[in-house]
């Protein structure tokens, strides 16, 4: 216990603007979307990164951010309601819209974002994978900020770890020190994935449609599965079978999709036909 780090208690409300509290949780989503919008505009302006692949223009990203933002919020909330606590929200339907109290699912947000990207790609006449590759590069920014917001709230804390020097006693989680699993996820899903994708893009990943998307999808799945070994399962679900959690289960299809996209993107290209 001598080595246990004190939990840095931070007010979840950043500032009150009249009767409206500005929470770190909401600020993380807004900041993630704004920073992602700025970074993707920069990527789309660098034609050399894309080669001969048709990609969204920097101006069109202003429209894309609206589709993505709606997909994140609506998909993330509905995903949490359906996957993690359907019984509670069936009994309390008005709580479904109370996203400010926490409760967003990445996997649901991913589905919502994919739908938004598909609509955008159809409207601007660009391949879906080219849109997805750009978005995949910026998503780790939002994941990092979101996990930091989980830590500040605090929620989604780790499993009991009384012998781990950096364990913390989280408010509302009992007296036993726990893994700060939110920070593990911020490092793996946020910083780690951002660096991997940034390096891959500099090496030409955007020139192969689907590669950045596959790297992100498979990378996130592996990072999430690894983090789940330290994260306390949701109380209403617990362990599903054999020590598996809902987060692990939902990540397995992502891993398969990611690996399939990587294989598709790296397939040998056929040389252009030559007319005799």
Over residues 252-271, the pLDDT tens digits come to 999 999 999 999 999 987 76
What is the per-residue pLDDT for 2?
A: 47
Q: Phi/psi of residue 259, each to 5°?
A: -65, -40
Element containing residue 107 per DSSP (H, E): helix 106-124
- CA dist 28 and 42 (Å) reads 21
Q: For residue range 131-140, list pLDDT tens digits in order.
A: 999 999 999 9
pTM of this structure: 0.86
Instruction: Tell me which of 17 and 195 has the higher pLDDT.
Output: 195
- Does the structure show a pLDDT above 80 at 275? no
pLDDT digits (tens, 9 = 90+) for 55-83: 999 999 999 999 998 998 888 888 888 88
Q: pLDDT band at residue 1, thresholds of 50, 70 and 90?
A: very low
Split at pLDDT 50, 70, 90, the class of 17 is confident
Please provide the DSSP assignment of 201-241 as one string: HHTTGGGSTTHHHHHHHHHHHHHHHHHHTTBPPPTTT---S
- Is residue 122 a known part of a binding site? no
Non-local (6+) Cβ contacts of 54 within 8 A are 126, 127, 130
pLDDT > 60? residue 112? yes
Beta carbons of 140 and 194 less than 8 angstroms apart: yes
The b-or-e profile of 205-237 (16+ CB within 10 A means b, else e) is bbbbbbbbbbbbbbbbbbbbbbbbebbbbbeee
d(CA 112, CA 131): 14
């Amino acid at each position: 216990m001598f080595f246990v780090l004190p939990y840095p208690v931070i007010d979840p409300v950043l500032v009150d603007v009249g009767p409206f509290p500005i929470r770190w949780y909401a600020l993380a989503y807004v900041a993630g979307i704004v920073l992602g919008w700025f970074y993707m505009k920069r990527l789309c302006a660098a034609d050399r990164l894309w080669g001969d692949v048709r990609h969204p223009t920097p101006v069109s990203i202003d429209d894309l951010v609206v589709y993505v933002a709606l997909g994140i919020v609506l998909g993330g909330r509905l995903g949490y309601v359906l996957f993690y606590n359907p019984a509670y929200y069936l009994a309390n339907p008005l709580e479904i819209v109370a996203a400010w109290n926490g409760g967003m699912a990445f996997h649901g947000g991913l589905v919502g974002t994919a739908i938004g990207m598909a609509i955008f790609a159809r409207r601007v006449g660009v391949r879906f994978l080219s849109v997805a590759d750009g978005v995949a590069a910026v998503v780790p920014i939002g994941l990092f900020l979101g996990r930091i917001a989980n830590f500040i709230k605090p929620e989604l804390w780790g499993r009991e770890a009384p012998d781990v020097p950096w364990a913390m006693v989280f408010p509302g989680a009992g007296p036993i020190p726990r893994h700060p699993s939110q920070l593990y996820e911020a490092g793996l899903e946020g910083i780690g994935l951002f660096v991997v994708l940034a390096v891959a893009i500099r090496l030409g990943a955007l020139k192969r449609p689907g590669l950045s998307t596959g790297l992100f999808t498979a990378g996130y799945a592996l990072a999430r599965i690894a983090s789940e070994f330290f994260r306390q399962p949701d109380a209403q679900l617990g362990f599903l079978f054999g020590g598996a959690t809902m987060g692990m289960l939902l990540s397995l299809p992502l891993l398969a999709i990611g690996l399939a996209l990587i294989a598709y993107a790296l397939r040998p290209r056929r040389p252009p036909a030559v007319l005799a």
